[in-house]
Amino acid sequence: MILELSQSSKRVKRLWAKSQVRREPQHEREKLIRLCVAKASDYFTLMASGFALVSDGYQNNLPTIFNPIFTKLYGKEIYNSIVSTRVSNALLIGEIIGQLVVGLICDRVGRKTAMVGTTLMIVIGGILATAASGSTPAGMFWMLTVARGTVGVGVGGEYPACSTSASEAANEKFGRDRGKVFILLTNLMLSIGGPIVISLFLLIINGAHYKGTNDASDTHKLQYTWRILMGIGIIIPLSVFYFRLKMMNSKLYRRNALKKSTPVAIYGLVLKRYWKTLIGTAGTWFLYDFVTFPNGIFSSTIIAEVIPGAGLVRTLEWNLLFSILSLPGVFIGAFIVKYTGRRNLLIMGFSGYLIFGLIVGLAFDKIIKIHVLFIILYAFMQSSGNLGPGNMEGTISSESYPTSIRGTCYGISAALGKTGAAIGTQTFRPIQASLGKKYTFIIAACCGVVGVLLAFFFVEDKGKDRLEKEDEAWRQYLVEHGYGDLHMGDGSAADRSAADNREQEKLEF
């Protein structure tokens, strides 16, 4: 991608030189330069979106590290299940707010503005989290809760802002391979956040010669380790800030955005036309996050309980293996989606929840005695989630809605998903305590069944269509319902009404 960006830059220079030689009119030269800059901007967008989502995956997986560290430092009396759940859920609650608010902003104001704003929220929240302190541990955990909530608003906003931008840029540049590119730039980036954060922890703690004791020297090493990890979470989004400043709103957005003066009544038409689609994208996302997030956040706790006496470092080494074994589903899904289709791959992933959830749940007492087998089957269940819903929730949500409301509907779907994550995280430990550990896996299997049904009846596969096709269908729908004079476009070109904004290009790959 960097090579293509460099080549695009060289083409801009050559075209400029030619235009100078031919002494074309000023407006022609400017038009030519704008075209080349727009093409280069697509690559800036893909780079900025993909790498920024590494930051989101990193932030989502930080509780895997700081939960066992805080338990070690403060004990279960101070860092009890209520406090740990509150600190972990702060990010999720912030994400829900960010997804809804920024989803609307990136439609009404612009993708670029939304992405710059989310970067700033993550950086501000990250600084507060790194510097969290208090006169008592309880006070520090409250400050950490507020800081993580601030980070969550930025992380949540990244979902609609980055994913809609990446989907629109991939649609322009990669045609039928749009799905594969989108997955590798979104879900893969989110998924590798877990291995990255655990690997960094192991590097820091082993480099500090941590011995796993309760001595003051070992306690001090844990104190600065979790703060270093929080601080690294600030650096990652800053590293792509330059690219975000250089990117442009996508061609689709510049053509199809709804003006800020668009009447609120339009959203009634959105629900009327897309209610079934919203049930499919939001419902399946809820089930996916309900299963995946608590199993990810509490994976170190689960492994520590299954392998007692392993110690903090050993537990997280097992957790690193678990995280790595969860990744193949992402790659497999990315390379077969073109052949299976979106909906079928979604069904395959939820079926994996059913199969592996039942195997682990029904044979739990026997499987946990074979540690490697438990880790492998547990990881396969998570990998199934990555294969299907993990890969497809963002893909389907970005393809099922027109450009003018893509961010809003994507944000609603993702927000309901994070609601499932928050509920799953809140109920995970009570379910274990009241029903037994094996029932978290059996419930995951039940979610798999419901996911298959939702995918089959409510999800429409649009992988063979260009995104422009849904834009045109939505434009016609607006005209049919008396909104033909509605202004479309972001103002970078001549004003168009919905009636005059007819799509002329080929709408299928």
- Rounded Cα distance between 483 and 505, Å, is 23
Q: Residue 258 carries which DSSP code?
A: B
Q: What is the CATH number of the domain that holds 200?
A: 1.20.1250.20
For the entire predicted model, the pTM comes to 0.87
- Rounded Cα distance between 99 and 86, Å, is 20
**Does the pLDDT of residue 17 top 60, yes or no?**
no
Whether residue 48 lies inside any domain: the answer is: yes
Domain that holds residue 39: 31-500
**Does the pLDDT of residue 330 top 80, yes or no?**
yes
**Does the pLDDT of residue 11 top 70, yes or no?**
no
**Residue 200 buriedness (CB in 10 A; 0-12 / 13-18 / 19+):** middle
399 and 386 Cβ atoms separated by less than 8 Å:
no
* Structure tokens that stand for 84 in this block: 């740990």
Q: Is 495 left (phi over 0), alpha (psi -120 to 50) or beta?
A: beta
Site of tokens 């690997």:
199
Residue 509 banded pLDDT, cuts 50, 70, 90: confident
At residue 261, the 3 state secondary structure works out as coil
Average pLDDT over residues 242-259: 83
**Does the pLDDT of residue 30 top 70, yes or no?**
no
Facing residues of 508 across strands?
A: 465
Whether residue 321 lies inside any domain: the answer is: yes
Percent of the chain exceeding pLDDT 90 equals: 47
Q: What pLDDT, on a 0 to 100 scale, did the predictor assign at position 493?
A: 66
Average pLDDT over residues 6-25: 49
Among 3-7, 110-114, 201-205, 399-403, which stretch is predicted with the lowest mean pLDDT?
3-7
At residue 277, the 3 state secondary structure works out as helix
Q: What pLDDT, on a 0 to 100 scale, did the predictor assign at position 433?
A: 85
Whether residue 130 lies inside any domain: the answer is: yes
Average pLDDT over residues 353-368: 93
Amino acid at 25: P
**Does the pLDDT of residue 501 top 50, yes or no?**
yes
Taking the CA of residue 479 as centre, how many other CA atoms within 13 Å lie in the half-sphere pointing to its CB? 14
* Structure tokens that stand for 282 in this block: 């939001």
Average pLDDT over residues 114-120: 90
Q: What pLDDT, on a 0 to 100 scale, did the predictor assign at position 21?
A: 44
Average pLDDT over residues 74-101: 90
444 and 357 Cβ atoms separated by less than 8 Å:
yes
473 and 460 Cβ atoms separated by less than 8 Å:
no
Nearest to 455 by CA among 376, 314, 352, 302: 352
Residue 34 banded pLDDT, cuts 50, 70, 90: low
Residue 335 banded pLDDT, cuts 50, 70, 90: very high
Torsion of CA 180, 182, 188, 190, to 10 degrees: -160
Average pLDDT over residues 185-190: 88
Residue 404 banded pLDDT, cuts 50, 70, 90: very high
**Does the pLDDT of residue 379 top 60, yes or no?**
yes
Q: What pLDDT, on a 0 to 100 scale, did the predictor assign at position 389?
A: 95
Q: What pLDDT, on a 0 to 100 scale, did the predictor assign at position 2?
A: 43
Site of tokens 């859920």:
89
**Does the pLDDT of residue 329 top 80, yes or no?**
yes
- Rounded Cα distance between 159 and 414, Å, is 7
Q: What pLDDT, on a 0 to 100 scale, did the predictor assign at position 90?
A: 92
Percent of the chain exceeding pLDDT 70 equals: 91
The better pLDDT of the pair 404, 26 is held by: 404
Whether residue 18 lies inside any domain: the answer is: no
Facing residues of 496 across strands?
A: 488
Report the residue count for the chain: 509
Q: Report how far apart, in Å, the C-alpha atoms of 194 and of each of 36, 266, 382 are.
A: 37, 40, 12
The better pLDDT of the pair 7, 334 is held by: 334
Amino acid at 438: K
**Does the pLDDT of residue 337 top 60, yes or no?**
yes
Whether residue 509 lies inside any domain: the answer is: no
350 and 367 Cβ atoms separated by less than 8 Å:
no
62 and 92 Cβ atoms separated by less than 8 Å:
no
Nearest to 4 by CA among 150, 246, 174, 164: 174
* Structure tokens that stand for 313 in this block: 């470092």
The better pLDDT of the pair 13, 253 is held by: 253
Number of independent structural domains in the chain: 1
Residues 6+ apart with CB under 8 A from 172: 42, 250, 251, 252
Whether residue 438 lies inside any domain: the answer is: yes
**Does the pLDDT of residue 317 top 50, yes or no?**
yes
**Does the pLDDT of residue 16 top 50, yes or no?**
no
- Rounded Cα distance between 246 and 280, Å, is 35
**Does the pLDDT of residue 1 top 50, yes or no?**
no
**Does the pLDDT of residue 427 top 60, yes or no?**
yes
Residue 262 banded pLDDT, cuts 50, 70, 90: confident
Task: Give the CA radius of gyration of the chain.
Answer: 24
Facing residues of 488 across strands?
A: 258, 496
Q: What pLDDT, on a 0 to 100 scale, did the predictor assign at position 166?
A: 87
Average pLDDT over residues 265-288: 95
Contacts 24+ apart (CB under 8 A), 12-21: 12/36, 12/37, 12/40
Most confidently modeled range among 70-74, 171-175, 289-293, 350-354: 350-354
**Does the pLDDT of residue 215 top 90, yes or no?**
no
DSSP secondary structure string for all residues of 402-451: -HHHHHHHHHHHHHHHHHHHHHHHHHHHHHHHHH-THHHHHHHHHHHHHH
Whether residue 118 lies inside any domain: the answer is: yes
Residue 314 banded pLDDT, cuts 50, 70, 90: confident
**Does the pLDDT of residue 58 top 70, yes or no?**
yes
SS3 letters across 396-412: HHHHCCCHHHHHHHHHH
H helix intervals, 109-240: 111-130, 137-174, 178-185, 187-191, 193-207, 216-238
Q: What pLDDT, on a 0 to 100 scale, did the predictor assign at position 185?
A: 86
393 and 288 Cβ atoms separated by less than 8 Å:
yes
123 and 231 Cβ atoms separated by less than 8 Å:
no
What is the phi/psi pair of residue 188, to 5°? -60, -45
Give 137-146 pLDDT, tens digit per residue: 999 999 999 9
**Does the pLDDT of residue 25 top 70, yes or no?**
no
Whether residue 110 lies inside any domain: the answer is: yes
Residue 26 banded pLDDT, cuts 50, 70, 90: low
Q: Is 461 left (phi over 0), alpha (psi -120 to 50) or beta?
A: beta
